[in-house]
Structure 1
Amino acid sequence: MDFYTVFILCGFSFVAGFVDAIIGGGGLIQTPAILFSLPQYPVPTLIGTTKVPSLSGSLMGAFQYSRRVAVVGRFIGPMMAIAFAASWLGSWTLTRVPNNFMKPLALVILIGVFIYTLTKKDFGQVSHRVVTASQQRTRMWLMGGGIGFYDGFFGPGTGSFLVLGFITLIGFDFLKANAHAKLVNASTNMASALFFFREGRILFTFALPMAVANLSGAFLGARLAILKGNQFIRVFFLVLIAATILRFAWDLIK
C-alpha cells in the first residue's frame, strides 16, 4: 500500500466530509481524487471504495443534525427505504451500463438551480408549509426513488439535490432540509456500499482510513452549519453549485 496516496486521499476525504455536511456535494471532491490517484483500478471499484467514507460522513452528519433539528419521522423512514432500494438498483445498473450521459444532464439542472437560488433571496431561509401531508408523503417518496437511483448510478451532487428537493417541494429551510437530506443520503450510501462489498469492489486499505477522515470532516462541517445558520448555508450552497458547474463544464469541453 502506498501510504503517501492514502494520506492524500484522506486529506481530500476530510474536505469532502466537511463540505458534504454543510450542503452536500462531497463526492465532487472525493470521487475525482480517487479516480486520479488510483487509475490502475476499474471505475466501479473506485466508486465502490468511496461509498464507505461517504457513508461514515453522512451518518455523522445525520447524527449531528438530528440532535438539533426536528425530523418528519412518519415519512422519512419509508423515504429512506425507497432510496436504499433505488440506490442498490442504480449501483447494479452502473456495473452494466455507462453513465457518461449523466454529466451533461446534471450540468443543465445545476445551472438552473444556481440561477434560481441566486435570484430568490429568501430561498431556504425559513420553513413554510406549502403542501398537504399527503402531498408531502408522495413528493418525499418520489424524491427517494429518483435521487436514490441517481446516487447509486452516478452520485456527484446527490446531497445538494436532496437539499434542493426538500426546500422547493416540501418547504423546509436549509437546516431542516440538511437534516433530512443526511438521513436519506446515509441510506443511499449504505445501499451502494453493501452492493459493492457484495461484488468485491471495495479497496478497504483505502476506504477505511478515508472513512475516518470523512467522518471527522463531517463532524466539524455539521457543527459549523448548525452554528452559523441558514444564510451561511445558502452562500455555501451557491459556491458549491458554481464550483460543480465549472467542474462538469470542464470535463465536457476538455
Structure 2
Amino acid sequence: MQSDAPEWPTGGAAGPAAPQYPIGSVDRALKLILLFGQQPQVRLTDAAAHLEVASSTAHRLLAMLQYRGFVRQDPVSKTYHPGPALLSVALSVFNRIDIDATAGPVLHRVSEQLRESVHLGMLEGAQVRFIAAAEGPTAVRVASRLGRTMPAHCTSTGMALLARLSDADIAHLYPDNELRRVTAHSVATRAELHKELRRIRQQGYSVNREGSEEGVASVAVPVPTRAPGVLLALNAAAPVHRLNSSQYRAVAAVLVEAAKEIGDQIG
C-alpha cells in the first residue's frame, strides 16, 4: 500500500531538517517542478515514475500545476512542458544573476584554450540572444555577438537549443515550411530543420558553417541548468578555414566541460 508520507532529509550534512508538519502533496508538486528543470518535457509516465506514485496521482498533480500555469500540455504529444508561470519565475531569478561574473571567467578561459571566440546564448522563442561573449586572442577572429539577436535556426547556438525541444514545439515555433534565410547556407525548410535537429540529438552538439554569416563556422552545445524553461547554449566560432569537420568532436568536448561548469554556477 502506498504511503502519503514524503521522504524528508534528516538535516545536518544531508540537507535541511524536515518541517514539523510535512505535506506530502506539496512535496510531490515541488518535486515535479524540479523535474522540469532537469528535462524540457515530461510524460505522465515519467512523472509517475519520478514520484513513485500511480499515474492517476501524477495526473492530478500535473493538472493542478497546469491550472496554475506552471506547466502546459501539448495537445498532440500529450507531453508536459514548463508553463508561463514557471517560465516567469525562472526568468525573473535568472535575470538577477550576474552572467559576466558567473560565466565570464569560463568563457575567457575557453577562448584562450581554443584560440577562438566563444558565446553564451539564450533561446527566446524562435530567436537566440547572445548574453555573454569572449573574443578570440588572434588578430583574425570572429567578432563578438554580445547583445545581438538572430534566428535560432541560422546559428549553431540556436540549433543546439532547438534540439532540446519536441517536434510539436518546433511546429509551433515554425508554422510555415519555408524558413527565413540569413545566408545561402542557412536551413531553408522545416523538413530540413527537423533532419538537422535529429542529427544534433544523436551526436550531442551542433555545427554551423556560414549559416549565419559568410566565412564563419561554429560548434555549440547546450548548457545544463536546473532553471525550468531557461535554455542556454555555449558556442565556439572561428573563420571557416580554421574549423573543419575533423575538429568538431574535440571542440565540442571542450565546450561540454565548460557548459557543465557554467550550468553548475548558474544553478
Structure with the greater relative contact order (CA < 8 A, sep ≥ 6): 1 or 2? 1
Which entry has the higher C-alpha Rg, 1 or 2?
2
Q: TM-score range by the shorter chain?
A: under 0.3
Structure with the higher helix share, 1 or 2: 1
Structure with the higher strand share, 1 or 2: 2
TM-score (norm 1): 0.26
